[in-house]
Amino acid sequence: MRLQRFLARAGVASRRGSEDLMTAGRVTVNGLVATELGTKVDVDRDHIEVDGVPVKLNQGAVYLMLYKPTGYLTTMSDPQERPCVADLVPRNRFPGLFPVGRLDRDTTGLLLFTTDGDLSQDLLHPSKHVHKTYQALVDGQLTDRDLDQLRRGIELDDGLCQPAICRVINAREAVAVAPQGVKPGTTAVEVIIREGRKNQVKRMLGKIHHPVIRLHRCNFAGLELEGVAKGSWRELTDREVQILKSGGIPPKQASAKRNGDKPQDTPASRTRHHGSHGSAPKRNTYRERYTG
């Protein structure tokens, strides 16, 4: 089996991401650095490591969600030793864990992690149209005309955005993004997009002259931060994993689920865990997956 295929099947990264790891000299086979993309391995006999961490094929894929607080970079390592999301998730317990996409340093909310490179690629690929729901606190008063522009599609430097689903929300709904309330001269708005461009929501709102003060992601593909405190994580339930593998729940169905379904009991093995905010343990430098 080719080494990059082995790494992808083990959940370290996608096939292309695994090739990047190899060419960067971060993969060893039996103690020797393997940079040749044609390298083949015997999965039963060879000892493979990435950044010094052993990788095995028989480890099952892992899926979890983090309630990302502000001030953390979406990366599994940072040369400048700045706080990053790797400090908040059990990367030593689950080798090969990486974030699905990214949230900006000052953005809070739902961030998925997995060791399943194929699923991550599916969730992030533009053709899949996976919905992501954000709450934004913006400067100024949003008008119906502003909302209509978002619903029609905003023209940005990198092209026309797909139409967004959006509405103004009240202070009770916006507690995650406006914990002190929605003050005069500001507006809380919910924006649902199905693209993943860099800083997209901020740029869309900035284009209509309502710069973002705070941004929070509350839903990804129909999954929400149920039972997760800020800075904490939990493993996904089997049902949540199946939702992701089926492409997610469209916004209307997700809303109906919130209004009509009782939340599932979380198995004891999947209860939330709190990240360490005060210290930065040694980081596993597996390659993170970024999509803007």
Within 60-204, strands assigned E span 63-68, 98-99, 108-114, 132-139, 155-156, 159-160, 165-168, 186-193
Beta bridge partners of 133: 192, 219
- Output helix, strand, coil percentages for the chain, rounded to the nearest 5: 25, 25, 50
Do residues 178 and 171 touch, judged by C-beta distance below 8 A? Answer: yes
Q: Which residue do the tokens 């959006």 mark?
A: 166
Question: Measured between alpha carbons, how far is residue 201 from residues 103, 185, 256, 266 in Å?
Answer: 11, 20, 24, 32
Q: How far apart are CA 30 and CA 48, in angstroms?
A: 6
Do residues 57 and 45 touch, judged by C-beta distance below 8 A? Answer: no
Q: Which of 51, 104, 116, 146 is catalytic?
A: 104
Instruction: Give residue 35's Cα distance to chain centre.
Output: 29
Q: Is 159 helix (H, G, I), strand (E, B) or coil?
A: strand
Question: Does 148 participate in catalysis according to the annotation?
Answer: no
Helix (H) or strand (E) holding 208: none
Q: Which residue do the tokens 């939340």 mark?
A: 263
- As annotated, the active-site residues are 104
